[in-house]
Amino acid sequence: MPLLVFATITARPGAANDLKNALHELVQAVRTEAACQLYELYQSTENPERFIMHERWDNEAGLLAHSQMPHMKVFGDKAKDWLAGPPELTKVAI
């Protein structure tokens, strides 16, 4: 069963541009994953340090595999100093 995920990602003050650039790179890599149906990045107009990732996965197993991908580790290592905290995930069943 497909799974929708909304990930809210918040940058530390002054780090939004660096985080945004890294997120755009990440989007390209994630879209190549077999279980990924949709991976879209949005930036809040009210709070430019807040980003929302709209994701659609084939199933929970596909989302779990995504979290283990090498490009996710590379992103995590690169972005750790730009993040205000861990991403907040909201999973929605279709």
Instruction: With H, G, I as helix, E, B as strand and everything else as coil, classify residue 47.
Output: coil
Q: Is 87 exposed, middle or buried (CB count within 10 Å of its CB: 0-12, 13-18, 19+)?
A: middle
- Encode pLDDT of 38-75 as tens digits: 999 999 999 999 999 999 999 999 999 999 999 999 99
| Structural domains of the chain, ranges and CATH numbers in brackets | 3-93 (3.30.70.100)
Cβ atoms of 87 and 26 closer than 8 Å: no
Per-residue pLDDT at 84: 97
- pTM given for the model: 0.92
Dihedral sign, Cα of residue 24, residue 42, residue 45, residue 49: negative
